[in-house]
Structure 1
Amino acid sequence: MQKNTKMQKQAMALAIAALFAADGAWAQETSTTTTAEPAVVVVTGTRVANRSVLDTTAPVDVISADTLKNAGSTELNQALSVALPSLNFPRPALTDGTDTIRPATLRGMAPDQTLVLINSKRRHASSLVNLNGSIGRGSAAVDMNTIPTAIVKSVEVLRDGAAAQYGSDAISGVVNIRLRTDRTGGEGTVTYGGYLTRYDLKNDAAPAGGTWTAPNSRKRTDGQTATVSAWKGLPWGDSGYITIAAEYKDQAHTERSGYDMRQQYPKVNGAFDPRELTVNRFDAWYGDPEIKQSTFFANAGNNLEGGVKIYGWASYQDRNSRSAGFFRPAQDSRNVPSIYPNGFLPIIAPNVQDYSALGGVSWSAGQWDMDASLGYGRNTMSFEIQNTLNASIGPTSKTVFDAGGFSYDQTVLNLTGVRSIDMASLASPLNVAVGAEARRETYSLSAGEPDSYRYGGVVLPNGSPAAPGSQVFPGFRPANAVNSARTAVGAFVDLEANLTKEFLGSVAVRGEHYSDFGNNLSGKLAGRYDFSKAFALRGSVQNGFRAPSPQQQNFTATSTNFINGVPFEITTFRPTDPVAVALGAKPLKAEKSVNFSFGTVFRIDNVSLTVDAYRVRVKDRIILSENLTQANVRDYLTKQGFIGIGGGRFFINGVDTRTQGVDAVLNVPYNAGASGKFDFTLAGSVNKTDVTKVPTSVQLAALSPSPSLFDRVNVLTLEKGQPKNKLTASMNWSLGAVGATLRATRYGEVLSPGTTAAFDWTIAPKTVVDLEARYTWNKKLTFALGADNLFNAYPETLPVFLNTTSNTPFPNFGPYGHNGRYVYGRANYAF
């Protein structure tokens, strides 16, 4: 491990040294010239045509299709996370549906505080609300992995609040995915890879009298993933295009469990069962899920007579996933030995179907450039629970259950007009954009089959009732079923102009009305002063908001827990449910934010450096409360007339946070002539979040001891659950038919919090190095070989007292996952 650490540090140092050495060489070398590249035009964060990426009032990162392609992972979220220091993509395991739909975060904020657009149009969210102890607990975010990288032309990431420009969710920023618009050409890609790794183990001793011992480390070759994708541009008439893309992905699961030292079988005549020495003690799936996924995407547009343009896109994805829960040993009271004599590993197997369609038209009306569009998106998630049982039914229990599921859909109608007005008092025409949006959202939840949730009446030998419902994931009940809808309408005005030759200013105001919680008004003021072509200052101040999602307002699930032999219903209640109201819940309202940013832009020819500081204050952040199952809570509910309620949890406003940090990006292109072309990037992000207020309840405050609505673990997850800093040094090199990418990413310290300080676990800073080499034959066929996490970096192995089942040897908060080295090959054919 020390050798690996030393090699990682050397690779990181070489990458950074090469960047600065190249910068110095560029400045000193006179015989080699650098041709100025055309400015990259962006459409995110501004409605002015032909605004370049370095001329905006706020920081915008542009990630090209080639950057996304030159990585081992074909997941859009993962590819973006290694390209952008301000974006993180945790990879938790044993988190139910979150194993299948993992959310990304921007600037350390919540996943649902980043707005995702496709071609500047709002993308629908996932139907899943994250409920378990992972980053993004309580959020329902857009699943960007429903978009195949083959259809992506570029990704623009606005690192600034933009609620006044785009509406709800844009508190931390905006991710705008721009689709290909090719009418000719195409490319097919086959990628295959897998994990070749070794990891350390920490294990407790066997029970007294046991003779089994654990290894100190373990080799694994797993997670084999094959991805076949293609895109093709087709002509539509004389000027139109139809670009289609398809992708199929087959991913095997990864398994990073510990060696299970627990006694697995009941003793026989006071002695250990001989099977204890032969049973497989690596009995958990702790890692990435098994996935089979098919995706289709089409984007089209055409110019008609009179300057009218029509456009649209459609997508469909079917994803079948399998992940696991905690292993139940043979002697576990939740097992029926006649069904599983060696214990069982319950499998959660969701099916996710995601589809969308949008059509639009743009035209000129006098001096106005008009645009109207109508879009629809839907995401459904249904759960099948496999290799499990309902212990309360006994030996006749089924082993596969339909547990029900949920769906979310969104319909959006947009109308926008943009024009420029010449004004003698200004140094440039005033760009005026006005628009309106109407949105309808629905959320539904359907019940599973009765055996997935009911109590079958079996009593254990000790007199306790057996556990009801399908183990690992009890089905949704008819009482949980819901079908709700809401509407929202809004209008905005966006003005931008050069007040003087040097000073660019913009102002935006947006008002919205939601049928479920009322009105909101947001505003943004931004400016930029160019002291010269080489140096500028920029900044903004704004207020923003995020509406409570229908998932947060309507999700509910119930499971039966027996406490001292008495059944109690443990429920995630809707905020408006009488039980939740009795505990202090109120109808959800919008989160409110105030954002400040200030930054600089330096550029000399093609060399650029941007440094941007920010502070985001969020008030009344929506969170999922603690599990309120204490005895005094149950007694209180009984006195209120709620008999048999064992407690629960619910969504509530009330957490205030302050997030502040600095992002910096240095880009240095260098033409070394006969030695090839280099693109160096050094980018870093420093981020800190403080929880300044937690929610309280008058009802709970009156109890003694008073239960907390938002306790230590959740507070520290917000404050320290993501890297304090992240630094990326990357180099792309090309010379004729050959090329390479070297990237070193240093992840700062992360805390995996415990219920007390004694159970806290600090994940130390670690550097992850990625390397890829490419060769193009005959200008058509390109081969690539590479390794992500070349030096096999892992978070520190958890001590035994934090991994009592052996199922989770690594903390779930590790920012680069816990799978180790991934080796892959790729072949691209351009046609």
Structure 2
Amino acid sequence: MLQSHLFRTFAVSASVGSLAWASCASAQDSSAGAELPPVEAVEVDYADTIIVLGSRRPDRTIADSPIPIDVIGSEALQNSGATETNRLLNNLVPSFNFPQPSLTDGTDSLRPATLRGLSPDQVLVLVNGKRRHMSSLLNLNGSIGRGSAAVDLNTLPSIAIEQIEVLRDGASSLYGSDAIAGVINVQLKKRQGGRAVASYGKYITTLRGVDQVASVAPTTGASDSPVITFTGEDRERNDGETYTIATNIGLPVGDSGYLNFTAEYKDRSPTNRSGPDPRRQYSGLGDPRETTLTRYNHRFGDGESKDFNFVVNAGTDIGDFELYYFGTYGVRDANGAGFYRRSLDARNADYANGGQPFYPDGFLPIIVSEIRDISGAVGVRGDVAGFNTDLSVVYGTNRLNYDVENSFNTSLGGLVSQRRFDAGGLRSGQTSINLDLQKNIELGFAQSVSLAFGGEYRDENYKIIPGEVQSYINGPFSFTNGAPGGAQVFPGFRPNNAIDASRDSIAGYVELDVDISDALNLQAAGRYESFSDFGDTVNGKLAARFEPIEGIALRGSVSTGFRAPGLAQQFFSTTSTNNVGGQLIEVGTFPVASPVAVALGSQPLDAEKSLNFGGGIAINLIEGLSLTADYYNIKIRDRITLTENLQGGDVVTILTTAGITGVTSARFFINGIDTKTQGLDIVGSYRVPDFGMGDIRLTVGYNISDTEITDRRVFSGFTAQRLFARQESFRLTDGQPKNKLNIGLDWDYGIFGLTARTNRFGEVFLPSGVSSPQRDDITVAPGDAPGDIFLSPKWVTDLELRIKPSEALELAFGANNLFDVYPDRLPFGTVDGVNFGLNNSFLPYSSQSPFGFSGRFLYGRVAVNF
């Protein structure tokens, strides 16, 4: 249904756009010689590009910015086989990290990204300079960014983007909450003309270290595992087919207005990188199905996803003012697999039928995520009493509905239980009203001075919607057989999880941008912000740029920052009821203000607070060559973390004393730790002089980053280790590459073009999950606990070849991960005296791999410019 609806919508959009374009072209032909600029990306000298990020001065360029800002043009975005904006940034920005986890519930469908090794919610995302709303998903299941929500950048198709600006510095004094690691600003296209693109690709890959099964011998004993014979060859896969159809059309409106809109449809089939499952599948002795059932019964990789995204960006003059509007509408129907339930698993027992398997051959439950993302902005700007004035209203919402398929509620039994469940959903909304004013003023000692000030009102809302009864209920077999209640793999939200919470904030800021001379620039900014839920905060920033020699500039900044606790972090809850020893107990995640959390010592969440230092050098001595190096040091106090599951006799005693019974395990959010992150960004680009060999551009980027936990909170007698143990501690500090190198080459010669990029992803540490005294001990160094794993550095190379038979037509062929590189294969069984268990045999790669684990992707693309 959705797919046909999307195709119809896309066809209508394209048809309307084509008719409008034809009409516009006709009008242009009769106008006074008006010409449309070419639609293909025009390569410019980005050092002279005007930026709207980091300063509200209207003539600030990258070259004279006192803080590091990267600009990624539309050409770099379109010359790639990656179909997600986050993956594009992962290949182009060295301090940007986008792992692609699997078996992480909704995170499989809405994956977060990070900047400078910090949390996904510590980078602010803007669209056309306006704050973008957060997604409703809270990442909880063992992925990078656990406990955070993020902006879904993948709702913004690359064909709609003119450029992406990445500010790598603290900017809370300029933009408010979240801008601790930096700011990403997506500038939508305004240009006239049109571009239509159709692409197709699939993975053709060989799984490194994953065996291909030759045969399976029948079982003979009551508990023995089957004997599996392997071919000795690695498993090969051809999957993940991805179709993309997109169009972007820009039309003139009057003499100076514009209307640019984009429609994109993307259909991605799932991938499967599971290894063979060596475990016994059936309970019966010598069951012949043991020899014929596929051993690749898990689904580990990218989920299925069907996306439709629509973007509009428009503006027109009304008298002396510009009225502008932009908006996005995104639909994503996606799914991710859960953990496979074997035929003999208790979770597959139908107690209404004597405990026989409900699914005779086992089952793979599927979590279906239906995501609707909507945003709209309207504003007016122009000169008011000599001030460049901008008044805008922005609304955004993200809605996530969960269904569970191919499952069943064991506690209800097979006669009653459904196989598909509505598990409820999440809602997140944001409305912002901004007034910004800027004016150049005269100060006797300065060459030029820009004064900017303004204010913001923001309202945020968060909701949890309960699922249907069968998705969460504990049926009769919970009491008689101890069967878990709710839909397997994702029990639905309960009525007592439902929440409808809101907050608002007001803010005011002032900013000075002063050119003392051609060689010296100073910036100062301050911001006051008041939130209805946690109070006030004041932040400031000082930055300077000094160019003692033309072409060599020193720059530096110091600033304070903050991130307001997310509404989801304050109010998210999900609980389940388990039967332990005949008694029903509650376990799960509880809101900070719930009686359970308060009894265990929770306090109202406060804002995270940062102190940012940065300094570097920018060199532009040779024409076409730009080189920057910037050091950063970010100290964050009161970082919000999710506690470990607090359980045991002391927990029961605390709760019982508070009059709470029936709860033996709980976790909740706290301002748990302080951290320090420091590192170095080096970015260079060089346009090779014309030697008759075409246009050649070289780029390089390098990031080195290190995070450490400098302090931990304790309360209610719980040790720091019980509140935030070793595995999550090292996931936060060492779970992303310590260094990353990007190298790129773009070459255009006549009708031919080539883009080659290679990325080196540094080492990643995976703390042990093996049962041992050291597993949860935060004092044990990396590598000193049995089962610690280090993922070795890897090089991943992309290559694209293009040909333009005419000005209107472009053909491209390429490969992402050309050499079919995989992260290190995880150990399983007993290795060097450490028993890793068997899960890694069929889940062979880590979800923390910074480049995923899908292998080689081959693609072709046809583009028509008109």
TM-score (norm 2): 0.89
User: Within the alignment, does 1:72 sit opposite 2:91 as a pair?
Assistant: no
Indicate yes or no: 2:428 matched with 1:401: no
Residue of structure 1 in register with 2:604 after alignment: 587
CA deviation map 1:537-563 (0-9, x unaligned): 000001000000111111111112222
1:308 is aligned to: 321
Q: Which of residues 769, 777, 782 is equivalent to 2:805?
A: 777
Q: CA deviation at 1:209?
A: 6.3
Paired with 2:595 and 2:817, the residues of 1 have a C-alpha distance of 50
Asked if 1:662 is matched to 2:675, the reply is: no
Unaligned stretches of 5+ residues in structure 1: 1-33
Equivalences for residues 18-97 of structure 1 within 5 A: 39-97=48-106
Tell me the alpha carbon deviations over residues 435-480 of structure 1, each in whole angstroms, 9 at most, x when there is no partner. Answer: 00000001111100111111111269xx641121100000000000
Q: CA deviation at 1:231?
A: 0.4
**Does structure 2 conserve the Cα–Cα contact (< 8 Å) formed by 1:752 and 1:812?**
no
Give me the whole-angstrom Cα distance separating, in 2, the residues matched to 1:546 and 1:670.
43
AA aligned opposite 1:414: N
1:804 equivalent among 838, 849, 865: 838
Partner SS state of residue 708, structure 1:
helix
1:224-253 deviation per Cα after TM superposition (whole angstroms, max 9, x unaligned) = 100111100112122111100000010000
Quick check: 1:583–1:699 contact (8 Å CA) kept in 2? no
* AA matched with 1:596: F
Which segment drifts farther, 388-397 or 205-214? 205-214
Per-residue Cα deviation, 1:452-509 (whole angstroms, up to 9, x for no partner): 111111269xx64112110000000000000011000000000011123321100000
* Residue 325 of structure 2 is aligned to residue 325 of structure 1: no
Structure-2 change in CA distance of 1:573 and 1:342 (3 Å): same
Q: Is the 8 A contact 1:242 1:300 kept in 2?
A: yes
Q: How big is each residue's C-alpha offset from its partner over 1:350-402, in whole Å with a ceiling of 9 and x where there is no partner?
A: 10000011100002112211110011000000100000000011112110000
Query: How far did 1:200 drift?
Result: 3.1
The letter for the 2-side match of 1:325 is G
Q: Secondary structure at the match of 1:584?
A: coil
Question: Cα deviation per residue 1:697-732 (whole Å; 9 max; x = unaligned)?
Answer: 12435xxxx861111011101110000100111100
Q: Does the alignment pair 1:144 with 2:156?
A: no
Q: Does 1:681 align with 2:715?
A: no
Deviations 1:60-109, CA, capped at 9 Å, x for gaps:
00001110111111111110110110101111100001001101100001
Aligned residue for 1:541?
558
Q: Which runs of 4+ in 1 moved over 4 A?
A: 34-38, 202-207
Q: Tell me the distance in 1 between the aligned counterparts of 2:144 and 2:208.
A: 25
Letter of the aligned partner of 1:715 in structure 2? Answer: S
Tell me the CA shift for residue 37 of structure 1. Answer: 7.8
1:384 equivalent in structure 2:
403
SS of match in other structure, 2:601: coil
Q: Confirm whether residue 197 of structure 1 aligns to residue 210 of structure 2.
A: no
> Are 1:294 and 2:271 matched, yes or no?
no
State the alpha-carbon separation in 2 of the partners of residues 798 and 565 from structure 1: 38
Q: 1:240 aligns with which of 243, 251, 257?
A: 257
Q: Name the structure 2 match of 1:735.
A: 749
Confirm or deny: 8 A CA contact 2:125 2:183 kept in the other structure: yes
Q: Alpha-carbon deviations, 1:282-318, whole Å to 9, x = none?
A: 011110110011111101001221x211101111111
Distance 2:46 2:178 in 1: 34
Q: Give the distance between the partners of 1:473 and 1:744, measured in 2 at CA.
A: 38
The letter of the residue matching 2:292 is T
SS of match in other structure, 2:331:
strand
Query: Following the alignment from structure 1 to structure 2, what is the Cα–Cα distance between the partners of residues 573 and 750?
Result: 31
What is the rounded CA distance, in whole Å, between the counterparts of 1:99 and 1:650 in structure 2? 23
Is 2:599 aligned against 1:599? no
User: 2:36 is matched with which residue?
Assistant: none
Which residue matches 2:4?
Answer: none
Q: Partners of 2:513 and 2:751 in 1: how far apart? A: 45
- Shift of residue 322, structure 1, vs aligned partner: 1.0
- 1:116 counterpart = 2:133: no
Q: Aligned to 2:76, what secondary structure does the other structure show?
A: helix
Change (3 A) 1:36 1:552: closer
In 2 relative to 1, CA 707–568 (structure 1 residues): closer, same or farther, beyond 3 Å? farther
Mean CA deviation greater in 55-64 or 635-644: 635-644
Is 2:239 aligned against 1:211? no
Displacement of 1:659 after TM fit?
0.2
Contact 1:85 1:684 in 2 (8 A): yes
Which of 714, 722, 725 in structure 2 is aligned with 1:711?
Answer: 725
CA shift digits 1:498-534 (9 cap, x unpaired): 1233211000000000000000000000001001221
Residue 426 of structure 2 contacts residue 464 of structure 2 at CA under 8 Å; is this kept in 1?
yes
Counterparts of 1:500-511 in structure 2, within 5 Å, are 500-511=517-528
Q: How far 1:744 moved relative to its partner?
A: 1.1
Alpha-carbon distance in 2 for matches of 1:574, 1:146: 29
Query: Does residue 695 of structure 1 match 2:717?
Result: no
Q: Name the stretch that deviates more: 201-210 or 819-828.
A: 201-210
Q: Which residue does 1:3 correspond to in 2?
A: none
Q: Distance in 2 between matches of 1:47 and 1:139?
A: 30
The answer to which of 648-657 and 109-118 deviates more is 648-657
What is the aligned partner in structure 1 of residue 143 from structure 2?
Answer: 134
User: Any conservation in 2 of the 1:194–1:225 contact (CA below 8 Å)?
Assistant: yes
Q: 2:591 matched to which residue of 1?
A: 574
Q: What's the offset of the Cα at 1:631?
A: 4.1
Give the Cα–Cα distance (whole angstroms) in 1 for the partners of residues 328 and 297 of structure 2: 38
Alpha-carbon distance in 2 for matches of 1:589, 1:164: 18
Identity %: 43
Partner of 2:441: 421
Instruction: Provide, for residues 329-349 of structure 1, a one-character-per-residue CA deviation record: whole Å limited to 9, x for no partner.
Output: 001000034531000000000
Q: Which residue of 2 aligns with 1:458?
A: 477
Q: Offset at 1:760?
A: 1.8
Q: Look up the match of 1:343.
A: 362
Distance in 2 of aligned mates of 1:560 and 1:366: 64
Where 1:458 maps in the other structure, the secondary structure is helix
Question: Residue 759 of structure 1: CA displacement?
Answer: 2.3
* Structure 2: distance between partners of 1:606 and 1:52: 16
1:786-825 pair list within 5 angstroms:
786-801=814-829, 802=836, 804-805=838-839, 806-825=841-860
What code does the residue aligned with 1:375 have? V
Q: What CA distance in whole angstroms lies between the structure 1 residues aligned with 2:684 and 2:310?
A: 36
Rounded to whole Å, the distance in 1 between the matches of 2:445 and 2:410 is: 79
Q: CA RMSD in A?
A: 1.7
- State the alpha-carbon separation in 2 of the partners of residues 201 and 276 from structure 1: 24
Aligned residue for 2:500? 483
Residues 457, 506 of structure 2: 8 Å contact kept: yes
Question: What letter is aligned with 2:797?
Answer: V
Count of aligned positions: 786
Say which is worse superposed, 48-57 or 613-622, in terms of deviation.
Answer: 48-57
Tell me how far apart the structure 1 counterparts of residues 850 and 118 of structure 2 sit (CA, whole Å): 14
Quote the offset at 1:642 in angstroms: 1.3
Alignment of 1:749-768 (within 5 A): 749-755=763-769, 756=775, 757-768=785-796
3-state SS of 1:777 partner: coil
Native 8 Å contact 1:418 1:434 kept in 2? yes
Partner in structure 2 of residue 20 of structure 1: none
Matched with 1:439 is: 458
**SS of 1:42 mapped into structure 2:** coil
CA distance in 1, matches of 2:649, 2:728: 22
Which stretch has the larger CA shift, 753-762 or 44-53? 753-762
Does the CA-based 8 Å contact 2:503-2:531 persist in structure 1? Answer: yes
SS at match of 1:675: coil
Partner of 2:511: 494
> What is the rounded CA distance, in whole Å, between the counterparts of 2:456 and 2:760 in structure 1?
42
Instruction: Measure how far apart 1:634 and its partner are.
Output: 2.8
Shift of 1:215: 4.9
